[in-house]
Structure 1
Amino acid sequence: MPTDSATYRLFFAVWPDEPCARWLDEQVEHLHHQYGGRQTPPRQHHLTLAFVGEVAHSQLTIVEAIGRQIAAQAEPCRLKLDKLAVWPSGIGCAAPTRTPTRISQLASALNAALKAQGLPYEERRFRPHITLLRKATPAEDAPATPDSFALLKIDHLSLVVSRLTRSGPLYQELRRWHLGPIQDGS
């Protein structure tokens, strides 16, 4: 049982469904072949909507309440992952050419709610992407446009804890909420 002094490194995210996860697995192999780096393990791929950071155990229920409330107010949508990038920071990722307004609004709502509660939140502009590589060697030329694309279903919101290990971060879903109001009945 965690003590009151325990802290969690938290973020809100969306996990890909199986078809999207398979597409991401193909793209990570392609990027790794061209740019090297350390591959993100397949079952760790996710879209971060809001990075919370270090939160005390005593604040966990507040963060969970934010997730539950924002998820209930959000509408499901899809994100078309149709480009690959390797950023100067060495991050290789899959990203959208265009970001739907609903996804930007979801990220903004989460950060605004965190800020209102005096919790850590991100101030930088939301830039949706799924990290596939870390410590990749950036090149002057952008990666080739993939031959296909994936649709990431944004139909849930997950609260995730990140644990840093020698081999990289490991992510564990703590809570999951479906987007939209809770339906009565089945």
Structure 2
Amino acid sequence: MRLFVALLPPPSVADELADAVGPLRRLPDASALRWTARESWHFTLAFLGEVADPVRPELAERLGRAAARHEPCALRLSGGGRFGDRALWAGADGDLTGLAALAGSVRDAARRAGAPPDAEHAFRPHLTLARAQRGHAVSLRPFADALTALHGAAWSADTLHLVSSALPRSGVPGEQPRYTTQESWPLGRPAAHRPEG
């Protein structure tokens, strides 16, 4: 199963982002981009690729322990950017130190479980909005520039998700991967184990 570990924005944040993305979809060359579906929006902490079924129980156990060691992160959508002219993304602001520490723990947990993260996907907090379609040369600079003013409301990233990614098989242009949450863990120790005061 093809897996990654992620934080998912709450519906109110997805609403905000949808409002910001709407005008981008009307810019010149927007039709040359493959826009990610709202239900697919996420911040990837670790991309694991294909993970064998026998590895999954230990992976889940270790990810649960990693989640328990980290408190929720206060985040907000902020600005945007691009990976060359391949992908357009929205950025994050807030507790980026806590977010990076969580990503490090997740990556270590996956490595120890026998599902090492893809080395080509180093952690960089971003939420992918669109990708250039194959065979279409398009500059993503105007799209990234239009995201400069994006400064969303603060939200608490409080749940870690293990997500499967089923790649499109139909060959229909524009079809996107299908993401399904396999397991989730709250960040932070259970309330019964938190120190008083």
TM-score (norm 2): 0.81
Q: Give CA-to-partner distance per residue, 1:8-39, whole Å, 9 cap, x none.
A: 10111111112101012122223332352111
Give, in whole Å, the separation in 1 of the partners of 2:102 and 2:151. Answer: 26
- Number of the residue aligned with 2:129: 132
- Number of the residue aligned with 2:190: 182
Give, in whole Å, the separation in 2 of the partners of 1:99 and 1:149. Answer: 14
Q: How many residues align?
A: 178
Counterpart check, 1:13 vs 2:6 = yes
- Number of the residue aligned with 1:70: 66
After superposition, where does 1:1-40 map in structure 2 within 5 Å?
8-34=1-27, 35-36=29-30, 37-40=33-36
3-state SS, counterpart of residue 168 of structure 1:
coil
Seen in structure 2, the aligned counterparts of structure 1 residues 119 and 40 have a Cα distance that, compared at 3 Å, is: same
Deviation at 1:120, TM superposition (A): 2.2
Q: Give CA-to-partner distance per residue, 1:131-158, whole Å, 9 cap, x none.
A: 1111173245541322542434211101
Choose from 96, 103, 116 the match for 2:92. 96
3-state SS, counterpart of residue 165 of structure 2:
strand
Give, in whole Å, the separation in 1 of the partners of 2:95 and 2:82. Answer: 18
Conserved 8 A contact 2:70-2:187: yes
Percent identity over the alignment?
31
3-state SS, counterpart of residue 93 of structure 1:
strand
Q: Please, which runs of 5 or more residues in structure 2 have no aligned partner?
A: none
Q: Please, which runs of 5 or more residues in structure 1 have no aligned partner?
A: 1-7
Conserved 8 A contact 1:82-1:150: no
Greater displacement, 116-125 / 129-138: 116-125
TM-score (norm 1): 0.85
Q: Give CA-to-partner distance per residue, 1:69-95, whole Å, 9 cap, x none.
A: 111111111222110223314211110
Choose from 181, 184, 187 the match for 1:173. 181
Deviation at 1:99, TM superposition (A): 5.9
Give, in whole Å, the separation in 1 of the partners of 2:94 and 2:160. Answer: 21
